[in-house]
Structure 1
Amino acid sequence: MLETGSRILVIDDEPQIRRLLKVALAAHGFEMAEAALGREGLTQAAMSRPDLIILDMGLPDMDGLEVLKQLREWSQTPVIVLSVKEQEETKIAMLDAGAEDYVTKPFGMGELLARIRAALRRSLKEAAEEAVLTLGDLRIDRVKRLVTVAEQPVKLTPTEYDILKTLASNPGRVFTNTQLLKAVWGAGYQNETHYLRVFVGQLRRKIEQNPSRPIHLITEPGVGYRLM
């Protein structure tokens, strides 16, 4: 199994959450290291070289965002952020700074485990990116720049294709509005979110069976989009 033997570092100051995660992760074949403080977590990350990090945004000694920024100076280990609902702006900042995904407290253990498995799969695939990506009835050939839905070719504009290609570079990962705008339109367009709304709407009409209830191009309200 993919997760067997994978090392997970949990950085969270709540002992009950660390205990809960330790039991659940061990039951699913993970090894777990833990830290209650941000600085301790950075030291643990350097020493244990985990395959994935679960990082709480509210730590007593330093902000979770600062922990992530320092980590990203030397490591690209996938990070899943634990947040609370009202921390939307900080959540966006964490994703922009390089977090892989986030889970909102209180979280279901099944959801967290699914996010962990997905992040580990993406991490393993990054080194050998597939030329053809198949997501249900959606097929994206990134070499030939061809997109089909239910084996029927779909004609996309260059901008629509660039949005889809960016999301397809890491399926399942949340891309913030800022990340997408910079990737597709370039620096200086980070605040032009209306561009995204227009082109995502057009793209959904071409790749979704029911654009009003999309199954591929999913909106993360107030944050951005992910390709499922």
Structure 2
Amino acid sequence: MCAHILVAEDNEMQADLIRRLLVREGHTTVVVHDGRAAIDEAKSRRPDLVVLDLMLPGVDGYGVCRVLRQDDDIPVLMLTARSAEEDVLLGLDLGADDYMTKPYSARELMARIRIVLRRTLRPAEDSPVLRVGSITVDPVRHLVTCDDATVTCTPGEFAILRAMAAEPDRVFSRRQLLHHTRGHDRASTERAIDVHIMNLRKKVEPDPRRPVRLVTVFGVGYKLVGGHHVP
């Protein structure tokens, strides 16, 4: 699976290491070292993934992610030396699909990249359209509609909605949903699921403060209600 990946990292040695790892796996790669260049490159030549350092000069990673999310759903993997939970949740709230803190191993970085690309570049051709009440999830076209209106989802949000729509009324724990979105089970990142659910509710609920579709099951997790799966 070859992809075009944009690396936005101000540390030139770190950027070159990531570039070499990606090229070794057959990906085409463009490297930039500041936020404005990242925005311009992403808009002029839409990459399949942006590996985005948080502490970029000019426009920081949060700002870059915010701009990209205004009109596109490019997958974003954030890299940062910050590990505070508030920083992680802010990045995810802005639409980042994954978040790695430095230092990290090359092996883990490439594993995370493969997970995101596998999810976004290889939808199964025979995957059925999923319908739960007024929500429709099309895995092949990577399309979500609600009440006949198109809903723009980040890859992480789409993965959650797809998993839940495949088994309506099933209660998913945060850890189970985390597995669908990232392929990792680390309890320290499970609150990220709450952010994705909150963002999805803004998009599919008549009143996000009183959800009737993406429902919380207290002490357990979440479920998608309102209908049955129709292949």
Please give the TM-score of this superposition, normalised by the length of structure 2: 0.63
1:180 corresponds to 2:208? no
Query: Which residue matches 1:44?
Result: 41
- Return the alpha-carbon distance in structure 2 between the equivalents of residues 37 and 67 of structure 1: 10
1:167 corresponds to 2:177? yes
Name the structure, 1 or 2, with higher relative contact order (CA <8 Å, separation 6+).
2
SS at match of 1:130: coil
2:9 and 2:34 in contact (8 A); partners too: yes
1:25 corresponds to 2:42? no
1:52 and 1:120 in contact (8 A); partners too: yes
CA RMSD of aligned residues (A): 3.6
SS at match of 2:114: helix
SS at match of 2:196: helix
In the comparison of the two structures, how many residue pairs are matched?
Answer: 175
1:108 corresponds to 2:105? yes
Paired AA for residue 196 in structure 2: Q
Q: Work out which of the two has the higher radius of gyration on C-alpha atoms and give 1 or 2.
A: 1
Paired AA for residue 48 in structure 1: R
What do the CA deviations read for 1:89-137 (whole angstroms, capped 9, x no partner)?
A: 122111111111111111111111111111011112469693599xxxx
2:93 and 2:199 in contact (8 A); partners too: no
1:78 and 1:99 in contact (8 A); partners too: yes
**Aligned CA distance change for structure 1 residues 11 and 197 (closer, same or farther; 3 Å):** farther
SS at match of 1:26: helix
1:96 corresponds to 2:93? yes
What do the CA deviations read for 1:34-69 (whole angstroms, capped 9, x no partner)?
A: 111101111111222211100011112122111101
Please give the TM-score of this superposition, normalised by the length of structure 1: 0.64
1:120 corresponds to 2:117? yes
Unaligned runs of 5+ in 1: 134-139, 147-157, 204-228
Given candidates 219, 224, 227, the residue that maps to 1:198 is 219
